[in-house]
Amino acid sequence: MHGLDDQAVARVSELLKGSTQPVALTGAGISAESGVPTFRSGESGFWGRFRPEDLATPEAFAADPLLVWCWYAWRRAQLAELSPNDGHRAMAAFEQLPGGFTVITQNVDGLHQAGGSHNVIEVHGSIAAVRCSADCGARRYLLHEHNHKHDHNHDRERDRERDRDASAEAVFASDREVARLVAEQGDAAFATISEGSGLSGRLPPQCSGCGAYLRPDVVWFGEQLPLEAVNRAFELSESADLFLVVGTSSVVYPAAALPEVAAERGAVLVEINPEPTPLSDRADVVIRSGSGPALSAVAQRLGLGA
Ligand code: APR
């Protein structure tokens, strides 16, 4: 492992081994090594005339639901091609530690779960989940876990499961169609979609409960964070004895407050990030490197291989 601070890696391994409640906060950096395009990079040139800040808002969805849905469809299709990296896999392996391991993530990409983690709190929602845009009370559902087992005691519940399976398949199919048009036509794809590709009549899909449009279950600019997830995240941070801050610039609140709360309650703070952040000065241990190499080195030291 070139360029890694072996002492810091050893220290983090020992801390994890002895911790009764280790918790991590992750951000876009942990997914960078999987090739997830960052939110604001605009690198691809696709949809070049739109800025994410202008699309990821409730106002944008109200003004042009088809456009916002298609942008997320394209992003979902891109993500479906990507795989979790060593950093995600190491964090999944940490769940075998005596104190267990919970990840609080700001990412919506689902790569922690794809890497094998079970204890994941998504404070900014998930791009793989959809819910009713009118909040009619119909349950949110995960597209990538539509076969997930639920209590099948009731026929109505079973019927709902079947509905969800069918609509998840339909969403995946339309995602692929949108992505194909974007790949072929770039910026012109949206005009094709809205002017009679057949997709415009079907998208966004409608809520089976009330008929309103479905929307991605992510936190848009100007929206509240999901209360239950945020409360759990703060509770865990207050009781954690070890807190890893991985791949986040630690500037977006309230998530950035979690390590501060943990440190105030006495947790040991570890930062893993190739660049300094506003939190670096408060960290007890810093590993200045990419999260994949750093976390897999830690996992190997702990005999958890990754
Ligand atoms: N390993 C670890 N960290 C990395 C790596 C890597 N390989 N590559 C980059 N980083 C670090 C960068 O140095 C930076 O500090 O990841 C961080 C990414 O910071 P941001 O892009 O600001 O992402 P994040 O902190 O997740 O942003 C928080 O802001 O845009 C909103 O809602 C969005 O959830 C996001 C939130």
d(CA 229, CA 231): 5
pLDDT value for 3: 81
Distance between CA atoms of 48 and 42, rounded to whole angstroms? 7
Active-site annotation holds for 146? no
What pLDDT, on a 0 to 100 scale, did the predictor assign at position 155? 61
In testing the pocket of ligand 1, which one of 33, 106, 124, 296 has its CB within 8 Å of the most ligand atoms?
Answer: 106
Would you say the CB of residue 237 lies under 6 angstroms from ligand 1?
no
Lowest mean pLDDT among 44-58, 131-145, 256-270: 44-58
State how far the Cα of 301 lies from the Cα of 295, in Å rounded to an integer. Answer: 10
| From 2, 112, 118, 124, the catalytic residue | 124
| Bond from prior residue into 204 cis (ω within 30 degrees of 0) | yes
Residue 32 Cβ inside 6 Å of ligand 1? The answer reads yes
For 137, other C-beta atoms within 10 Å of its C-beta total 9
Nearest to 86 by CA among 260, 257, 236, 296: 296
- Confidence at residue 230, expressed as pLDDT on a 0 to 100 scale: 97
Mean pLDDT of the chain: 87
Higher pLDDT, 207 or 237: 237
Ligand 1 within 6 A of CB of 44: no
Centre of ligand 1 to C-alpha 211, Å, is 37
CATH of domain 41-81+126-218: 3.30.1600.10
Which atom of ligand 1 lies at the shortest distance from residue 27's CA? 26
Indicate the pLDDT class of residue 67, thresholds 50, 70 and 90: very high
Q: How confident is the model at residue 80 (pLDDT cuts 50, 70, 90)?
A: confident
| Residue 278 pLDDT greater than 60, yes or no | yes
Q: Is the dihedral of CA 140, 143, 148, 153 positive or negative?
A: positive
- Do 127 and 106 touch, CB atoms closer than 8 A? no
- Residue nearest to ligand 1 atom 25, measured at CA: 248
Rounded to whole angstroms, how far apart are CA atoms 249 and 151? Answer: 40
Which range, 63-77, 120-134, 174-188, 284-298, is most confident?
284-298
- The highest-confidence range among 47-56, 58-67, 175-184, by mean pLDDT, is 58-67
In sequence order, the β-bridge partners of residue 38 are: none
Q: Are 214 and 131 in contact, with CB atoms under 8 Å apart?
A: yes
Q: What is the structure's pLDDT at 136? A: 87
What would the mean pLDDT of 172-185 be, rounded to a whole number? 88
For residue range 48-62, list pLDDT tens digits in order: 567 777 888 999 999
Cα 127 to Cα 109: distance, rounded to the nearest angstrom: 6
pLDDT of 60: 95
| Its pTM surpasses 0.85 | yes
Closest Cα to atom 21 of ligand 1: 28
Tell me the CATH class for 1-36+83-124+225-306: alpha beta
Q: Residue 212: is it exposed, middle or buried by C-beta count within 10 angstroms (0-12/13-18/19+)?
A: middle
Q: Residue 133: CB within 6 Å of ligand 1?
A: no
Read off the pLDDT of residues 17-44 as tens digits, 9 standing for 90 and up.
Answer: 999 999 999 999 999 999 886 554 555 4
Residue 162: pLDDT band with limits 50, 70, 90: low
Q: Are 199 and 211 in contact (CB under 8 A)?
A: no
Query: Quick check: CB of 39 below 6 Å from ligand 1?
Result: yes
Question: 23 and 95 in contact (C-beta within 8 Å)?
Answer: no
Candidate from 34, 248, 275 with most ligand 1 atoms within 8 A of CB, to mutate: 248
Domain boundaries, the chain: 1-36+83-124+225-306, 41-81+126-218
For residues 194-214, give the mean pLDDT. 86
Amino acid, res. 254? P
pLDDT at 173: 86
Report the pLDDT value the prediction gives residue 150, as an integer from 0 to 100: 39
